[in-house]
Amino acid sequence: MSIAAKFEIEYLQYLDAEGKQVRDDLPAFTQDLEYMVKLYKLMMSTRVFDAKSIALQRTGKLGTYASCLGHEAAHVGIGSAMKPEDVYAPSYREYGAQLYRGVQPREVYMYWGGDERGNDYQNEPARHDFAWSVPIATQCLHAAGSALAFKIRGEKRVAVCTIGDGGSSKGDFYGAINIAGAQNLPMVAVIVNNQWAISVPRKIQSGAPTLAQKGIAAGLYCIQVDGNDIIAVRKAMEDALERARNGEGGSVIEAVTYRLGDHTTADDARRYRGEDEVKEGWAKEPMKRLRNWLVAKGVWDDAKEEAWKAECDDWMDNEVNAYLETKTQPITAMFDYTYAEIPADLEKQREFALALEKKAH
């Protein structure tokens, strides 16, 4: 019998759950220990930000919020590997990547607080990234379109999108990676596999041994990495971005991690998963392993940890205050930024809304 095709999926890991190296060929960027400390600091900042966000929601100062607890290595690894000229199309949870690229917590809060101005990122390079995408997987098509534009223009830029394990079952994801493969587009799709699509577990989400292999049918390079090992995530991203930038095609990266918190603040994960599973997830969480590795290298200790936490608290107090002090938009804003020329029916609604507002005052 002849064989039409064969494939295998590489698994990449450098640090185990305790922060011990499982291989000696560490990437070149790990030689810069100051840089590795910087990555750890951002992971810690992201976790402090996340805790503050949930507290804001619980006290009625923020709308529904999607926590990133446990995803710090995956998200910071993605953002730190990208170049400023690249474009990022996120879903709604990848704050670590966005903070690295200049998004401010106050902007995150504006968005989740119902103010679309939060999507208007003020800092580069985030300013040319896409807005948050709550509709599942639509951002993958935005990334594919951007990648096509880069190819047509002859620009050495890469479009990156992130998607969850459940989202990778959507037709939008398959359509995006299919066109990326067919047109040899500079696109990297990262499946952040946190084991749960709200209450649907990975084991019934797909019958495939890996989610990375979904890219095989599209003709893309595929790899699965330990999503709690920032070295592995960043290395896989670095390689995928370089291939795409050099015209060697796109990639699908599956970063295997675990959602330590609820899906969002509107969810209660205790209804569908047990304590033992969550405890196992905490044993593999990303912060501990990088911290242990840095301590072993002699560049981190408890005193530095406490000092940085204090800085993070001050930083977040400032960001929260900036958010709470932001003036609300006029009621007309919902009409003024939808069409270049407002249709007659919306003009009537605009006038009605103004009249109601005037009457209320």
Report which residue type is found at 51.
A
Calculate the dihedral angle through the C-alpha atoms of 25, 45, 71, 250, rounding to the nearest 10 degrees: -60
Rounded to whole angstroms, the Cα distance separating 104 from 304 reads: 24
Q: Which residues pair with 187 in a beta bridge?
A: 159
Annotation says 100 is catalytic: no
DSSP structural state of residue 83: -
Concerning whether 106 is annotated as a catalytic residue, the answer is no
CA distance 146 to 141: 9
Joined together, the tokens standing for residue 90 give 């996120």
Catalytic: which of 93, 157, 234, 263? 263
Contact 78, 236 (CB under 8 A): no
Planar angle of CA 37, 43, 45, nearest 5 degrees? 100
Closest CA to 263 of 69, 98, 45, 36: 69
Place of tokens 């103010």: 115
- 289: alpha, beta or left? (left if phi > 0; alpha if psi -120 to 50): alpha
Give the Cα-Cα-Cα angle 57, 61, 63 (nearest 5 degrees): 55
Instruction: Please answer whether residues 232 and 12 qualify as being in contact, where contact means their C-beta atoms are separated by less than 8 angstroms.
Output: yes
Mark whether 258 is an active-site residue: no
Identify the active-site residue in 272, 273, 291, 337. 272
**Catalytic annotation, pick one of 75, 93, 106, 259:** 259
30, 36 contact by CB (below 8 A): yes
Task: Specify whether the CB–CB gap between 295 and 40 falls below 8 A.
Answer: no
Residue entry with tokens 């996340």: 50
Catalytic residue numbers, as ranges: 259, 263, 272
